[in-house]
Amino acid sequence: MRWAAMMVWLSVLGLAGCGEDGGDGTEEPFAFDSLSDEDKAAYMASDVLPTMQAVFQAYDSDAYADFSCATCHVTGLSDGTYVMPDPGLPQLREDAFPYESDIGVFMADEVLPELQALLGPKEGGRPCVSCHTLEE
């Protein structure tokens, strides 16, 4: 069942990742990283925060009752950089991939697809370390 849901999400992401027509019939993917800092902040507040708040609260309404920018930007919010990966998030272990814990499955099956739909896919095939640092 989880694979079927993942395949549906991947199909949706393929469509959602497309942006405006490039003029030659090709679609340009949304490029969050190319936005100005002001536009990034506005987009995070208007689109990313409410969407991700709903995703996390559906998973655990008590644990994420106070979901905010600081949930993901733990140190980046306090120092004003919002840089990711954020060392304030739980560190991941290289030898633990793929994560089979409840939170790991939730992150892979629900959080990651939503973030990729909102921000565009990350290059390099290691999306977990786009937000989390690895243990040294």
Query: pLDDT tens, 67-126?
Result: 999 999 999 888 889 989 999 999 988 777 667 888 889 998 999 999 999 998 777 667
Residue with tokens 């290289």: 94
Residues 6 or more apart in contact with residue 64 via CB below 8 angstroms: 53, 56, 57, 71
- Helix (H) or strand (E) run with residue 119 in it: helix 112-119
The number of helices, as runs of H, and strands, as runs of E, in the chain is 7, 2
pTM reported for the whole predicted model: 0.74
- Share of the chain residues as helix, strand and coil, in percent rounded to the nearest 5: 55, 5, 40
Task: Check if the beta carbon of residue 44 is closer than 8 Å to that of residue 35.
Answer: no
Query: pLDDT tens, 116-135?
Result: 999 987 776 678 888 999 98
